[in-house]
Amino acid sequence: MPAPREDELLPSDGFVIKQVLDSMGIKEYEPRVVHQLLDFMYRNVAEVLQVAEAFSDRAGSVKREIGLEDVMLAIQAKATTSFVTPPSQDALQSMADRRNKIALPALATKYGFRLPPPEDCLIAPNFQFHPHNAPEHMDWEEDPIPAGIGTEPTKGPPARGLKDHVHDMKEQHPAFQQDADDAAQDGAGGSHAAEGSETEAHAMINMQS
């Protein structure tokens, strides 16, 4: 069974919209345009009927029916609130005439690009900067560093050396004092042994000579 054509799936209002497009000279468009216009038409008609029903109830209609006057009033209200009426051709022409009466700025007769004055160009800066309390001119030849800085001796506690830190450790930790004494004794013994070995070496050299 062949698939139905797209024209066969359109409702009768869809064919009316296609005829309206053809009458306006629109021959090429996507098929989804017709569906979009159908949705707009149905939604607009539903809103107009709702407003017309509200007007009819407000007027106290005995028949509880929407009259032609209610629909016309609803259409006017819808057009006023939902659609923007474009200006007339006469209004546009008058605005164009007033604008065209203003003469264009004269172009410079120099070589290169013939552009309007800088203040009339779109590439000109759109802001102005006026500094307040601008600093006075500074003579860069003068020394900005005041005299005497870096020449005076630094005031403060004297620098502490390694011996001072060792003395503090001995006073705070008695165990450190014992380890330091043992290390000093080991160092003294090693120095005595080295001195004895050096004496024996000299004696052997003298005997050989």
Residue 178 placed within a domain = yes
Q: What CA–CA distance (Å, rounded) separates 166 from 181?
A: 12
Residue 107 placed within a domain = no
pLDDT for 191: 47
Q: Going residue by residue through the chain (209 aa), what tens digit of pLDDT does each one get?
A: 555 566 667 788 888 999 999 999 998 989 889 999 999 999 999 999 998 888 888 776 666 778 888 889 889 888 888 777 788 999 999 999 999 999 887 776 777 777 777 777 777 677 777 777 666 665 555 555 555 555 555 555 555 556 666 666 666 666 655 655 666 565 555 445 455 555 555 555 555 54
Domain boundary at 38, 63, 85, which?
Answer: 85
Range of the domain at 64: 6-85
Residue 195 placed within a domain = yes
pLDDT for 121: 78
DSSP letter, residue 25:
T
pLDDT for 62: 63
How many structural domains comprise the chain?
Answer: 2
For residue 25, give both structure tokens.
């000279």
DSSP letter, residue 144:
S
Exposed/middle/buried for 38, CB within 10 Å: 0-12, 13-18, 19+? Answer: middle
Residue 130 placed within a domain = no
The CATH number of residue 44's host domain is 1.10.20.10
Residue 80 placed within a domain = yes
Residue 119 placed within a domain = no
Residue 110 placed within a domain = no
Q: Which residues have C-beta within 8 Å of that of residue 170, sequence separation ≥ 6?
A: 176, 177, 180
pLDDT for 204: 52
Q: What CA–CA distance (Å, rounded) separates 15 from 141?
A: 89
Domain boundary at 51, 85, 119, which?
Answer: 85
* pTM of the predicted protein model: 0.38
Closest CA to 36 of 19, 5, 13: 13
Domain boundary at 52, 85, 118, which?
Answer: 85
Residue 94 placed within a domain = no
pLDDT for 184: 57
Q: What CA–CA distance (Å, rounded) separates 17 from 41?
A: 10
